[in-house]
Homo-oligomer: A and B are copies of this chain.
């Protein structure tokens, strides 16, 4: 018998009340043998961008066929599509089609997408409820797909991959001895900021470990940080409390305070308005 895929959940529900528990109960009621893994339930509230980024960040490390259920859904109960995407690499993502597929589509590729048919793939006992699709639609449909109750075509009608809702992704730029990009996401635990500047492009622009690039951070055009900081492989190369640049876990240039919190210490954040320029 073919092994059933794992279900990996990410939401902005937190564990503060019974929502995750109810959602997982639905999965286990569809098929007792399904394996559930917490991706995270602490995505920032309503933050579709983070949902999209975290899918991209973790997906490639999972076995092919894994079913990701991503629920950051400020438009729950309104007209936005509920879908299951099949990626180029053979993963599934069950999610509102509200921008959460942005990074997966661009960086990893989406082969096919289907709109969930609510007449078939919605928990029948909850018909009157419009506010909890994590439990009633996404969790239920994902469990049916993973358990083999339905195949991928059974999700509902396919629609063109081009219609998937995408958020704009900024591109980094490079020249001899300089690079420009944005902080595209944070590490909210350690207070680091990750740029959209790939390490190999950065190195081709002339930077090497051990350099002290001049860093200029601007927010909507206003300078928020300027200084020379060490670029190295890891945090321990800088002194405790020092600002530094490093190559992050996705092979992009990132900025941190060694054993500190860059975002809090310098009041920096991420998004398309947060630019970073690096000069030799």
Contact = CB atoms under 8 A, between A and B. Distances in A.
Interface in A33-83: 36-42, 45-46, 50, 53-55, 57-63, 66, 74-78
Contact of A77 (B17, B53, B128, B235): B235
A182 to B, nearest CB: 18
Given A22-B57, A22-B61, A259 B3 contact: no
B13 A37 contact: no
Contacts of A75: 236
Interface stretch (A112-120, A152-160, A216-224, A245-253): A245-253
A39 B18 contact: yes
Given A14-B42, A16-B189, A135-B249, A8 B21 contact: yes
Interface stretch (A24-32, A172-180, A271-279): A24-32
Given A189-B14, A247-B130, A32 B63 contact: yes
Contact of A131 (B17, B32, B130, B249): B249
Interface in A164-210: 185-190, 199
A233 interface: yes
A237 interface: yes
A61 B29 contact: yes
A236 B78 contact: yes
A262 to B, nearest CB: 13
Given A28-B66, A130-B234, 10 more contacts: A3-B32, A17-B188, A18-B57, A21-B57, A24-B37, A28-B63, A45-B259, A78-B237, A129-B249, A130-B246
